Amino acid sequence: MTKNIAMTAALRLSEKLPLPLRRLADLAYNYWWSWTSDRIALFQTIDPQEWEHCGHNPVAILESATYERLTQLAEDPFYLKQISALAKEFDEYMTQKDTWVSRVAPQVSIAHPIAYFCAEFGIHESLPIYSGGLGILAGDHLKSSSDLGVPMVGVGLLYRQGYFRQRLNRSGWQEDYYVDNPFHRMPIELIKNEQGQPLTIEIQIRQRRVKVQIWQVQVGRVTLYLLDSDREDNDPIDRWLTAHLYGGNQETRIAQEVVLGIGGVRALTALGIQPSVYHLNEGHAAFCTLEISRQEIERTNKSFYDIEADVRQRCVFTTHTPVPAGHDVFSPDLIDSFFAHYWPQLRLSREQFLALGARRLGDPWEPFGMTVLALRMCRTSNGVSELHGRVSRQMWTVMYPNRSEDNVPIGYITNGVHAPTWTAPLIAELYSQYLGSDWKTRAVDPKMWEKVDDIPNQELWWRHQILKERLIAHTRHKVKKAREARGEEYERIQATDTLLDPQALTIGFARRFSPYKRGHLLLRDTERALRIFGNIDRPVQIIFAGKAHPADEEGKRIIQRLMEWCKHPALTNRVAFIEDYDIYTAQKLVQGVDVWLNNPRRPLEASGTSGQKVCFNGGINCSVLDGWWCEGYQADANGKGINGWAIGEDAHTSDQELQDRIDSESLYQLLEEEITPLYYNQDANGIPHGWIQMMKASIKTNAPLFNTDRMIADYVSQVYVPEISVTVPPILAKVLV
């Protein structure tokens, strides 16, 4: 499939290890290990403190471990059995031929895989090239594609410093800083040619020729290729093109998207990969359609309009943004400076080229839109929830003047999450006992999930409480470190030892702090909020986490208000903010909270997936009916939630102040009259049976639908290979078992 020589980094690492431990190198260089049941102890056992210090990087921990410590492990029979069993499982996984996709769509072959383009990928915290939901979804997309045997390659950028790191000063104001990623001590490999030199491709950025090298990351059976311009033979300004995720100005953004789209296609060509489908996950990669066109024109000597339909047949597009302002657009002048050399290669005039990205044809000042380009050049387009599909059709109807809004060609495939990654091992082990040891491969089977009712209430509650205690311990540790770094008073630092109560009702709120997500909705009536969170008899506590974009001053002010709230005397131990949100903290949150709070302004949440992760761990959602929760929420005949709670029900108004008032009142009422009483209605042993019934309902109703196995099956049958005879209904038990 590629000209790439076999990966050698794992071999080099293995030669440094004692013979009985050498398979650890194979596992370290494939992120498959990160979604196995044994992931917690496998590398952490080597040196728990160093494991924390190196950001849970398996290569770094093996590189830094002393030979004495490694030889100690090499004579530990229990540890050797664990490695042997895991290595056997890994080998069987990697060599499996009878996969779901081989049975359903054998025409999708390794020779012509799906190429999945995205600006960010959230695979694991040790590969910090993600900022939030889009990247986490992309990572889960690759993992489930691997599990189902879908031949796929990912294409992205390798950011030297990734997304910004977050710290809060003593006034609660967010400060941004960056840290270099140690590429040569990470589970990634620089691809080299037959001469042993880095394999490079070349692109033109304005008048400069830029060389881009290619790294690879193994995600189970899927390979992720990452492009990197940080080379000594590039101009210093070009070395920084792949430095920051979502940083810089419009010129930086368009240059990165040229590297991702045009460079990504050239990288696949250099690797000898001929995709059957190019999947553009968001508009950042839309320039790839132009490079596919350029190569086809060069190959056939035809005009752009002669090959346009063929290119469109090979490209598909997923949009994630429900507001026009969130889509990348560039001025005609900026397009001129980056593409004046390029459109002649497409045999197009300037006007014809600009028209590809113009919503309204014939307007010389119309900006060039990346989503517009993707919609024009892809055979299918979809939103990421049913509501988002509807919003997208309405938003882009201007491009289809001869169609009614309902007939705008944008469908939807609702997002899901990768169950093995986000389900706590303690809960996964419970599922293995009561649902079957093969539960991970049957995540879409609703009949299997009905067996959740067989789990004894006390057993589910006991494990949930352990996970809550682990979350609280993690929160205390992070908050203590942050207070120490800010130089706060000794008493404030020591107070973290009693921060939060493992027995109290615990709410989680973690996401990007953008104004529309309303992270401060709880504070709208501060007196009422104090009554709820300051209640001595029925304590309620909340953990916040998340970043505001460096340019989002209003988002930073929301965080500052929350930090001030944390210091209120009546809330000393009831409110916490975890700084520098990452995948590791996200896992602890979704696995340990009782309630997941989500209160965006409807309909601005395209899908959202954090609440789906909570469901797999028995957490319960309290959310505005937006994104995926419109499809997930269930109520009884009296309008009472069966598997969670709906904030504001379906009330919606364009008056934002009125909407905030409606939704905050609804949230306070839910907390006071339903959520808190249900939680504290406990028997003599402290077991809240009514609450646990809702936990089980949350699992049973949401787990079979909102997982990436179902999502990938939808993409295969509706988008990648729509001609296959197998139909994929909403209930997929018969398809994926």
Taken in order of first residue, the domains within the chain and their CATH numbers are: 9-93 (no CATH), 110-156+244-410 (3.40.50.2000), 418-440+451-705 (3.40.50.2000)
Residues 275-321 pLDDT 10s: 999 999 999 999 999 999 999 999 999 999 999 999 999 999 999 98
- Give the whole-angstrom CA distance, residue 443 versus residue 437: 12
Question: What are the strands, taking DSSP E only, across 467-548?
Answer: 505-510, 540-545
Q: How far apart, in Å, are the Cα atoms of 398 and each of 83, 370, 394, 401, 573?
A: 58, 15, 8, 6, 52
Q: How far apart, in Å, are the Cα atoms of 458 and each of 20, 274, 322, 448, 685?
A: 41, 54, 42, 21, 9
* Residue 540: alpha-carbon gap to chain centroid: 29
- 48 cis-preceded (ω within 30 degrees of 0): no
Question: What are the strands, taking DSSP E only, across 415-536?
Answer: 505-510
- Give the whole-angstrom CA distance, residue 471 versus residue 486: 23
The number of C-alpha atoms within 13 Å of 114 and in the hemisphere containing its C-beta is: 29
- Give the whole-angstrom CA distance, residue 258 versus residue 262: 5
Consecutive H or E run containing 422:
helix 419-422
Contact indicator for 512, 547 with CB cutoff of 8 Å: yes
pLDDT tier for residue 675 given thresholds of 50, 70 and 90: very high
pLDDT tier for residue 570 given thresholds of 50, 70 and 90: confident
- Give the whole-angstrom CA distance, residue 69 versus residue 48: 12
Residues 614-669 pLDDT 10s: 999 999 999 999 999 999 999 999 889 999 999 997 667 778 888 899 999 999 99
* Residue 436: alpha-carbon gap to chain centroid: 28
pLDDT value at residue 248: 85
Task: Assign 461 to helix, strand or coil.
Answer: helix
Residues 348-381 pLDDT 10s: 999 999 999 999 877 777 899 999 999 999 999 9
Instruction: Name the average pLDDT for the chain.
Output: 94
* Residue 1: alpha-carbon gap to chain centroid: 28
- Give the whole-angstrom CA distance, residue 487 versus residue 323: 41
Tabulate helix, strand, coil % of the chain (nearest 5): 50, 15, 35
Q: What is the token pair recorded at 38? A: 């044994």
Comparing CA positions, the residue from 286, 267, 285 lying closest to residue 275 is: 267
Average pLDDT over residues 242-247: 94
pLDDT value at residue 729: 44
Residues 17-52 pLDDT 10s: 999 999 999 999 999 999 998 887 899 999 999 999
Residues 493-516 pLDDT 10s: 999 999 999 999 999 999 999 999
Task: Please state which of the ranges 208-217, 404-413, 450-459, 716-725 shows the lowest mean pLDDT.
Answer: 716-725
| Alpha helical stretches, state H, 6-132 | 9-14, 23-28, 39-44, 48-53, 58-64, 67-74, 77-95, 100-104
Q: What is the token pair recorded at 599? A: 């209160």
Average pLDDT over residues 459-478: 98
pLDDT tier for residue 150 given thresholds of 50, 70 and 90: very high
Comparing CA positions, the residue from 264, 253, 154 lying closest to residue 212 is: 264
